[in-house]
Amino acid sequence: MSKCLEIAATALVASGLLAAPVAAEKFGLGRAATPDEIAAWDLDVAPDGTGLPQGSGDVFTGEEVFAEKCAICHGDFAEGVDNWPKLAGGMDTLDHEDPLKTVGSYWPYLSTVWDYVNRSMPFGNAQSLTADEVYAITAYILYSNDLVDDEFELNHENFIDVELPNAGGFIIDDRETAEAHFWTDEPCMTNCKDSVEITMRAAVLDVTPEEDDNSDDTAQAASPVEEPRAPVETAALDPALVEQGEKVFKKCKSCHQLGDGAKNKTGPILTGIVDAPIAHVEGFKYSKPMQALGENGAVWTEAELAAFLAKPKAYLKGTKMSFAGLKKEDDIAAVLAYLQSVE
């Protein structure tokens, strides 16, 4: 086939793909989606505002909501905590050696912020924000990037008037032209360069994880010398409840670890938390009210933990824990059983 014919054939195939499937076979499978079902799942918002619900929120409200629900990871000023994303700053750094990509410096569309906060945040408690809260948080993120003043209110009407600084900073994939020279067909096979020198070595950086962590050999070698453990006082725990608690604990896992190798994350290690002094975990930075409770000698009894887990913010105003609380008493009992089951 000549090149020309080949191209024509390709074009036909391409247009065939996109032709409306006139007599497509129907299988009669599935059922019609109800309008309520579509409304429940079809939440995405496009750059032109398609999909945006009515509502509003101002910077002031946004600051409060952000402090309560977002700051634990993203920082009070959207500057980011540890490795969690920074949402503000980094203006004019995109051509620097290490660009700081934030909503202000990088994101092209405000709709993306609204959509992502609405559907995917807060981490570990997604889809718990009201539309007004999302407007307020979005307004606050704009403010923290110096893009609006502190009087600003964002709503569904002025939404598409907001243009982000880097809106024009993107081009559509141009590899086929900008990198056309990679389509060389016949690469060099001999005498491709005069000399070869090693210019950089990974061993010098030494950032590769050690392999032994998962090795079965070490696990086997370690077990015989392990000290016999004292009998675990879990006789009273109902295994079914513990199992249920392990499932409930998934809601906690994004911030808390427990058991072997547990580390402080967004929240403190929870191993042995039941009947432990409040704010006892070393190396974790508790909120001031939590710290004060601990200094007064308060203890996480089952009753205290149950009250805290039901409504953390009501139990202790000012706690850093952004979790909304466990609604079901069964879940609280189960998670307490699970917490006691792990050594």
Partner 1 sequence: MSGHSKTTKPSRRQFLTGAAAVSASAVAAGTARAAGDPLITQVQDWAQATGDGVDATPYGLPIEFEGDVVRRNVEWLTADTISSINFTPIHALDGTITPQGCAFERHHSGAIELRKDDYRLMINGLVDTPLVFSYADLERFPRENHVYFCECAANTGMEWAGAQLNGAQFTHGMIHNMEYSGVPLRVLLEEAGLDTAGELADKWVYVEGADASSNGRSIPMEKALDDVLVAFKANGEALRKEHGYPVRLVVPGWEGNMWIKWLRRIEVTAQPIESREETSKYTDTLADGTSRKWTWVMDAKSVVTSPSPQAPITHGLGPLVITGLAWSGRGAITGVDVSTDGGKTWQEARLAAPGTDKALTRFYLDINWNGEEMLLQSRARDSSGYVQPTKAQLREVRGLNSIYHNNCIQTWWVKANGEAENVEVS
CB 45 within 8 A of CB 114: yes
Candidates 4, 17, 230, 303: give the one binding partner 1 (CB under 8 A): 17
Two tokens, residue 217: 């050999």
Whose Cβ is closer to partner 1: residue 261's or residue 297's? 261
Cα distance between residue 41 and residue 51, in whole Å: 11
Is position 207 an interface residue for partner 1 (rule: CB under 8 A)?
Answer: yes
Is position 31 an interface residue for partner 1 (rule: CB under 8 A)?
Answer: yes
Is position 227 an interface residue for partner 1 (rule: CB under 8 A)?
Answer: no
* Cross-strand pairs, 56: 155
Phi and psi, residue 155, nearest 5°: -145, 180
Whose Cβ is closer to partner 1: residue 87's or residue 278's? 87
Is position 296 an interface residue for partner 1 (rule: CB under 8 A)?
Answer: no
The DSSP code for 129 is: S
Q: Amino acid identity of 136?
A: A
Phi and psi, residue 324, nearest 5°: -75, -25
Closest distance between partner 1 and the C-beta of residue 212, in Å? 9
H/E stretch holding 11: helix 3-18
* Cross-strand pairs, 58: 153
Whose Cβ is closer to partner 1: residue 126's or residue 314's? 126
Candidates 2, 4, 36, 83: give the one binding partner 1 (CB under 8 A): 83
Is position 223 an interface residue for partner 1 (rule: CB under 8 A)?
Answer: no
**Cα 228 from chain centre:** 41
Cα distance between residue 273 and residue 281, in whole Å: 9
Is position 82 an interface residue for partner 1 (rule: CB under 8 A)?
Answer: yes
Q: How many residues sit close enough to partner 1 to count as binding (CB under 8 A)?
A: 97
Candidates 4, 21, 151, 227: give the one binding partner 1 (CB under 8 A): 21
Omega before residue 268 within 30° of 0, cis: no
Give the range of 60-68, 192-200, 299-307, 325-333 binding partner 1 by CB under 8 A.
192-200
* Cross-strand pairs, 277: 299
Closest distance between partner 1 and the C-beta of residue 18, in Å? 5
Q: How many CB atoms lie within 10 A of CB 109?
A: 19
Is position 77 an interface residue for partner 1 (rule: CB under 8 A)?
Answer: no
Strand residue runs (E) in 205-269 = none
Is position 260 an interface residue for partner 1 (rule: CB under 8 A)?
Answer: no
Is position 177 an interface residue for partner 1 (rule: CB under 8 A)?
Answer: no
Binders in 125-144 for partner 1, by CB under 8 A: 126-127
Give the range of 36-44, 55-63, 307-315, 320-328 binding partner 1 by CB under 8 A.
36-44
Closest distance between partner 1 and the C-beta of residue 140, in Å? 18
**Cα 212 from chain centre:** 29
